[in-house]
């Protein structure tokens, strides 16, 4: 295996009867306006689901991996809806617990209007999100309520910084699950910094959690907002511990730092795809799912990054949190393109629906 294609799959634990990935965290029912505009002005909402960790689980299940979601939801209709929808995506929900005393979290956000602002109009798309999650069932997760052997029941455990901010018990749970101990699976951690959740709290707690993990995802914008770190190299300098660090750089692309046997890093950059954005919600989760899929398959780091970009493109071109990912065969064909051909790809709404004429851009070849 060449140095710049070093894979970390050898570190994935061999757990008897394990699923590929366990994703632990809160999912909420989301309400999206039926038409674009301010939340104060729209007359009706449609219902969906949203949650960073369950988004990753659903995306992985849809491309053929076994995924398990662990969480708590209320003993209410919203909890019923969440569990049913996530299970329908092929995710194992057997470790989700119902809380008779706490509600399922919900949130409202603006409709997924395209971020295709005309320069001559000079208007920015409206963006509002209002959460009703304080005291939710998921905020009651704790080491007592989520036994470590359940959370460690996959080859990979995927966590995010959102969970750490939900409550003190949740933060304690995160500390326990990321502790290095025999039997720990590969730990994947998406920083997922949310300003509202960390207001008045020490964001260095996120840095501490990330240092204890094997694979870390963080956006350059998040690193600036949470820790005052500017640039991918500065993030790596602050996070030397993870075997693989992925710094997402928005529309430019993403850089991965993969530790090599000699202790140094292979640094791999892959440019992002040209996408007609409908809504950005869920794109980061989709990117993580694509990268994790490549990791589970033992693909080179560059290919993992490209799979992340493809999954993100699927999410960016739909109004909801979850896009329909391309088939594995089609994704592999696109990932195998040379740099020039990859740079010419352009994706619009419907590009993964190969059975609908006219929705796939001509520049996107079929394998």
Find the mean pLDDT for residues 180-204.
Answer: 91
pLDDT tens-digit readout, 83-101:
999 999 999 999 999 999 9
Please check the confidence at residue 15 and state whether its pLDDT lies above 60. Answer: no
pLDDT value of position 2: 32
Q: What percent of the chain has pLDDT over 90?
A: 71
Q: Provide CB contacts within 8 A for 56, sequence distance 6+.
A: 21, 23, 67, 158, 190, 285, 288, 289, 292
The three-state secondary structure class of 24 is strand
Which range in 23-37, 63-77, 110-124, 349-363 is most confidently predicted, on average pLDDT? 63-77
**Token pair recorded at residue 182:** 């025999």
The three-state secondary structure class of 112 is coil
Q: Confidence band (pLDDT; 50, 70, 90) for 200?
A: confident
Phi, psi of 314 (to 5 degrees): -65, -40
pLDDT value of position 17: 62
202 vs 22, which has greater pLDDT? 22
Catalytically annotated residue among 8, 190, 214, 285: 285
pTM exceeds cut of 0.85: yes
Q: Is 168 a catalytic residue?
A: no
Q: Confidence band (pLDDT; 50, 70, 90) for 354?
A: low
């Amino acid at each position: 295996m060449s140095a710049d294609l070093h894979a970390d799959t050898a570190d994935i634990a061999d757990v008897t009867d394990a699923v590929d990935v366990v994703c632990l965290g809160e999912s909420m029912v989301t309400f999206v306006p039926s038409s674009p505009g301010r939340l104060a002005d729209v007359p009706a909402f449609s219902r969906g689901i949203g949650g960073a960790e369950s988004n990753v689980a659903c995306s992985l299940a849809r491309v053929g991996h076994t995924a398990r979601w662990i969480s708590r939801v209320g003993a209410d209709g919203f909890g019923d809806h969440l569990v049913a929808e996530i299970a329908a995506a092929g995710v194992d929900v057997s470790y989700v617990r119902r809380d008779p005393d706490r509600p399922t979290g919900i949130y409202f956000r603006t409709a997924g209007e395209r971020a295709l602002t005309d320069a001559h109009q000079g208007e920015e798309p409206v963006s509002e999100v209002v959460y009703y999650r304080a005291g939710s069932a998921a905020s009651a997760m704790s080491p007592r309520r989520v036994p470590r052997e359940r959370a460690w029941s996959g080859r990979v455990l995927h966590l995010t910084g959102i969970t750490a901010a939900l409550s003190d018990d949740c933060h304690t749970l995160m500390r326990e699950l990321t502790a290095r101990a025999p039997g720990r699976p590969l730990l994947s951690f998406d920083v997922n910094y949310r300003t509202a959740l960390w207001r008045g709290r020490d964001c260095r707690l996120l840095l501490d959690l990330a240092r204890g993990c094997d694979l870390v995802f963080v956006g350059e914008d998040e690193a600036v907002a949470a820790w005052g770190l500017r640039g991918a190299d500065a993030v790596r300098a602050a996070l030397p511990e993870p075997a693989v660090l992925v710094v997402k750089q928005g529309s430019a692309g993403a850089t991965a730092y993969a530790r090599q046997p000699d202790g140094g890093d292979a640094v791999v950059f892959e440019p992002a795809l040209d996408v007609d954005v409908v809504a950005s919600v869920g794109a980061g989760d989709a990117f993580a799912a694509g990268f994790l899929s490549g990791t589970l398959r033992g693909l080179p780091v560059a290919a993992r990054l490209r799979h992340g970009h493809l999954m993100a493109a699927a999410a960016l071109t739909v109004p909801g949190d979850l896009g329909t990912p391309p088939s594995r065969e089609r994704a592999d064909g696109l990932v195998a393109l040379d740099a020039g051909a990859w740079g010419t790809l352009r994706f619009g709404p419907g590009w993964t629906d190969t059975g609908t004429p006219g929705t796939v851009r001509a520049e996107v070849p079929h394998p």
